């Protein structure tokens, strides 16, 4: 028998597979397809202080080995997430959930995190300082060590639950930014968010996405994500949630060897709704194939 259990920021979960924010809604849509309690946990849709309609359409473009999206943090706002979405989720998911939070000012992050910190079902706060699709917010905090430190420090002062800071890959020194977050008290790092990209329509000769640029995700970015997780593992002592192009159980093992304690699966859910369930079901077979008895033993094993 193999052991797939891991501990993420002091909370034990059954396996390291976590659907990424923005690809799994608030869970109950997927609960119509399979029992989502097989998941380690999941990161729910990015939540902001106020409701957001998101970016104008079109906001998705297909690419070879991936996709571009510029949804723009469409969500009903934190009050409605607490009053409407979490009660619905509690009917279908009996584990702790990861709350993904975005903001446009430090005060926004603090307000939203403070609210969600009080919710019993929330286990972790995943603070997204890396959204590449919102003008004037989100990623601007994730592109410098100073601003990443500032957001982390403020959120940690206002909350009790583990805070995981989600980092952008669209920077020159992701390890330095991760270290700044650790110094500010972060309990974990999640990475990478999408890479900036663009497609152009040959007939109209204009960008396909109304936002012009979008976040590129999918299997093509896996090597970039592996490299960045490897670098950050050497720079920090706190756990890393690795993501970027993961679609198989083999990808999970590779990401963990690079230094991830857990992994998030994003674009794969949009192509194959059973992606996370299939990865979890296949994990014991792949562990046995490579002589792995306990997943905890391989974290950072490539170093």
- Between the CA atoms of 76, 78, 79 and 81, what dihedral angle is there, to the nearest 10 degrees? 60
Q: What is the mean pLDDT of the chain?
A: 95
Is the pLDDT assigned to residue 99 strictly greater than 80? yes
pLDDT given for residue 143 in this prediction: 86
User: Quick one: 74 exposed, middle or buried, by C-beta within 10 A (0-12, 13-18, 19+)?
Assistant: middle
* Domain segments of the chain as ranges: 6-54+73-198+217-298
Q: Are strands 11-13 and 6-8 parallel, antiparallel or unpaired?
A: antiparallel
pLDDT in tens, 68-84: 999 988 999 999 999 99
For the chain, give the percent of residues with pLDDT over 70: 97
User: Which residue out of 9, 113, 131, 276 is catalytically annotated?
Assistant: 131
Q: Which residues of 233-242 are buried (b: 16+ CB within 10 A; e: fewer)?
A: bebbebbbbb
What average pLDDT score do residues 112-127 get? Answer: 98
Active site residue 38: no
**What is d(CA 158, CA 144) in angstroms, rounded to the nearest whole number?**
22
What is 6-54+73-198+217-298's CATH number, 3.40.50.300, 3.40.190.10, 3.90.1170.50, 3.20.20.70?
3.20.20.70
Is the pLDDT assigned to residue 134 strictly greater than 60? no
Is the pLDDT assigned to residue 138 strictly greater than 60? no
pLDDT in tens, 147-165: 999 999 999 999 999 999 9
Q: Residues 45, 109, 48, CA angle at the centre, nearest 5°?
A: 35
Find, among 194, 189, 183, the residue nearest to 165 by Cα. Answer: 189
| 237 pLDDT tier (thresholds 50, 70, 90) | very high
Find, among 107, 126, 105, the residue nearest to 117 by Cα. Answer: 126
Is the pLDDT assigned to residue 167 strictly greater than 70? yes
**What is d(CA 291, CA 127) in angstroms, rounded to the nearest whole number?**
35
């Amino acid at each position: 028998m193999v052991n797939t259990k891991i501990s993420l920021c002091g909370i034990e979960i059954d396996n390291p597979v976590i659907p990424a924010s923005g690809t799994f809604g608030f869970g109950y849509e997927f609960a119509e397809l399979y029992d989502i309690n097989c998941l380690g946990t999941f990161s729910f849709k990015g939540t902001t202080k106020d409701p957001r309609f998101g970016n104008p359409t079109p906001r998705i473009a297909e690419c070879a080995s991936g996709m571009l999206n510029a949804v723009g943090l469409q969500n009903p706002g934190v009050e409605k997430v607490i009053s409407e979405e979490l009660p619905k989720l509690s009917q279908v998911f009996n584990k702790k959930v990861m709350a993904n939070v975005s903001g446009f000012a430090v005060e926004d992050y603090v307000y939203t995190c403070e609210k969600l910190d009080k919710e019993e079902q929330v286990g972790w706060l995943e603070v997204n300082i890396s959204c590449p699709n919102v003008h004037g917010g989100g990623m601007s905090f994730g592109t410098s060590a100073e601003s990443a430190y500032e957001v982390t420090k403020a959120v940690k002062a206002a909350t009790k639950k583990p805070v995981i800071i989600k980092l952008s890959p669209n920077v020159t020194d992701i390890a330095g930014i991760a270290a700044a977050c650790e110094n500010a008290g972060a309990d974990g790092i999640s990475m990478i968010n999408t890479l900036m990209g663009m497609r152009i329509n040959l007939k109209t000769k204009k960008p396909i996405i109304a936002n012009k640029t979008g976040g590129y995700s999918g299997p093509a970015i896996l090597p970039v994500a592996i490299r960045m997780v490897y670098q950050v593992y050497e720079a920090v002592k706190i756990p890393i949630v690795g993501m970027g192009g993961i679609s198989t159980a083999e990808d999970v093992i590779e990401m963990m060897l690079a230094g991830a304690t857990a992994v998030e699966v994003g674009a794969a859910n949009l192509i194959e709704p059973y992606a996370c369930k299939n990865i979890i079901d296949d994990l014991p077979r792949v562990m046995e194939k490579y002589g792995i008895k306990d997943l905890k033993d391989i974290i950072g094993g490539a170093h």
